[in-house]
Amino acid sequence: MLKMAAIGCGYWGPNLIRNFNAHPEVELAKICDLDEGRRRHMASLYPHAEVVGDVDAVLNDASIQAVVVATPVSTHFPLGKAVLESGKHLFIEKPMAASAAECEELNKVAKAQGKHIMVGHTFLFVPAVRKIRELIASGELGDIYYVNIRRLNLGIFQKDANVVWDLVPHDVAMLNYLFRSSPERVSATGQCFVQLDKQLEDVAFVTLEYPTGQVAHIHVSWLDPNKIREATFVGSKKMVVYDDVAITDKIRIYDKGVDVMPHYDGFDQFQLAYRHGDILIPKIDAAEPLKVETSHFVDVVLGREPSLSDGALGLQVVEVLEKTCVSIRQGGAPQMLAHTNV
């Protein structure tokens, strides 16, 4: 059994708590939150767990082996570091911390303590995303030319982060997982229309360039009439459209493309052959991503498998977020990225 505690019962924490509590090899021993109302609610749902308002009650309990941190990103570094220094494994929500420097420090502490960090990049555990990874790895799509991602909705506006820090982590983590690489350069533009007093961008256009040749364009917005969660992967052989909002048929594989005719005598004879083949809708498992993610963390801590979303990936994602914001401030100037190895 893995004895665990959770810190943070706001927006996302209860979902993690529910899944870890349901795991047959997890004993949920403590739940911590500053808000008394939330503590009462958690105590009613999980009477077997001790519900506390003091983080030290978690940190000083030597019997607890791992801690979930699902709090505002500004608190990730101090809480995460305290958890690791108390000799406990750490599951921390995305983004890993508020800066690349903080991520590096957390990774350093984890290594010194011999403990695991896992970052909550849930999209790595979405069955449709895993299917796309299989399609890319098998060569069925050919060489990936580019990816176009749209993550749009009316809200939810955040008070302490812009749309880049709120939404882009999903896509950077997903792309790094799919490409088995991380971008080497980022450029971006963005605008703030609503929270002008805080200068928090509510729309951004981000371009990532990967050392393996792929280009990804990400459009994120809190100010759009439609809820769209869509990614288009254009390959040399086939193309894939992933619609995360769709209830069914989340992936469509298009046997479409353009082929250059192999033989021609002159430029005036240059010809392209357009392919308009079938559309395939593969069967996708209906597993709950959070259940898969939390089970994976248990397996990682118990030494059964390596982490898919470790501190190295967390650092890469946060560096992209930082450099994206720098590029926006500099009018779209490209920014080089240092942590490009996965």
Average pLDDT over residues 106-110: 99
Q: Which two tokens stand for residue 128?
A: 């449709």
Task: Output the CA–CA distances (angstroms, integers) from residue 43 to 29, 175, 253, in the order listed.
Answer: 12, 39, 47
Superfamily classification of domain 2-115 = NAD(P)-binding Rossmann-like Domain (3.40.50.720)
CATH architecture of 124-288+317-336: 2-Layer Sandwich (3.30)
Distance (Å, whole) CA 229 – CA 245: 6
> For residue 50, what pLDDT is reported?
98
Per-residue H/E/C for 123-159? HHHCHHHHHHHHHHHHCCCCCEEEEEEEEEEECCCCC
pLDDT surpassing 90 at residue 259:
no
Query: What is the model's pTM?
Result: 0.94
Which backbone phi and psi does 85 adopt, to 5 degrees? -70, -20
Average pLDDT over residues 8-19: 97
Residue 184 — very low, low, confident or very high, per pLDDT cuts 50/70/90? very high
Which sequence spans correspond to the domains of the chain? 2-115, 124-288+317-336
> For residue 342, what pLDDT is reported?
44
pLDDT surpassing 50 at residue 205:
yes
Nearest to 235 by CA among 148, 139, 147, 143: 143
Distance (Å, whole) CA 45 – CA 183: 43
> For residue 260, what pLDDT is reported?
74
What residue has token string 């082996």?
65
pLDDT in tens, 279-300: 999 999 889 999 999 999 999 9
pLDDT in tens, 24-61: 999 999 999 999 999 999 999 999 999 999 999 999 99
